[in-house]
Structure 1
């Protein structure tokens, strides 16, 4: 049999591989209907969600870049403030050192002035004590010299004017004798 005859015979019989024509038409209509519903309702929603998600991601990236730029600016500002604070602390430290040196010099000058004043007072006291001791020694030496001279001379030297003149003369002779020896 030839091929055409077989097809004709096959038309009358049900072929399990080939569907019926009505099923093919119904499948095509259902496919087109499904394609219309997907293209009209589902695809726009997916596109809208895709666009929103893309905007969120791009917005998040922009926000992250902006936050990173803000963080960089804050870091630069912090570093500038830190450098300024370090410079300020160095200046304050230098000022404090200079002020300490000035105070130390003032205290040294005050101490030297106080020491000079104390030395001057000591010298004045020593001079006063020396003058007092010399006066006491002269008076004592004069009394003893008058008593000794009175014994030697045999006359009384009780007269104050005489005694004073004799003592002064005796002391001046002693000073003139001891002065060349000291030189």
Structure 2
């Protein structure tokens, strides 16, 4: 029963040893332990802050990437639109050039036809003049005095000459 109910001296010495142990722990162990806990707490807080900062940076990078991607899409659309516009302009220029060339060729053909027509008319006039001169020459060679005979001669020559 002594173990269950200790004496006052035992309790006293146990209390003194306990106080001595608390004093020694407070003097030598608790400060390093508390300092280590504070350091750990600070490192955890720093790690959390850095994680939050990294999260913010990631969000900023993501937003920047999305912005760059949107700008790249706009640039691509602009380039495609310019290319389409340029191709349409080139097609339109080619059509205009072909139309102008066709009109120029038609104009040249008309001028050539007009020149040929004028040359043919000049040739017909020359032929008619030559025929007139031939008829006049023949008439003068005969030296007809009678008007009816002259008329008959001209009619005969005109029948001989067939104009197309």
> Is TM-score (shorter-chain normalized) higher than 0.5?
yes
Whether 2:91 is the aligned partner of 1:101: answer yes
- Going from structure 1 to structure 2, the CA distance change for 1:70 and 1:172 (only over 3 Å counts) comes to farther
TM-score (norm: length of structure 2): 0.66
Aligned pairs for 1:1-183 (under 5 A) are: 29=20, 32-39=22-29, 41-148=31-138, 150=140, 154-155=142-143, 170=158, 174-175=162-163, 178=164
Specify the alignment match of 2:6 in structure 1: none
Give 5+ residue unaligned stretches, structure 1.
1-24, 157-161, 179-183
Give 5+ residue unaligned stretches, structure 2.
1-15, 145-149
Distance 2:158 2:86 in 1: 68
Please give the per-residue CA displacement for 1:17-74, whole angstroms capped at 9, x wherever unaligned. xxxxxxxx99x84x55431123553233222211221121111111221222222222
Q: Which has more radius of gyration?
A: 1
Between the two proteins, the alignment pairs up a number of residues equal to 139
TM-score (norm: length of structure 1): 0.60
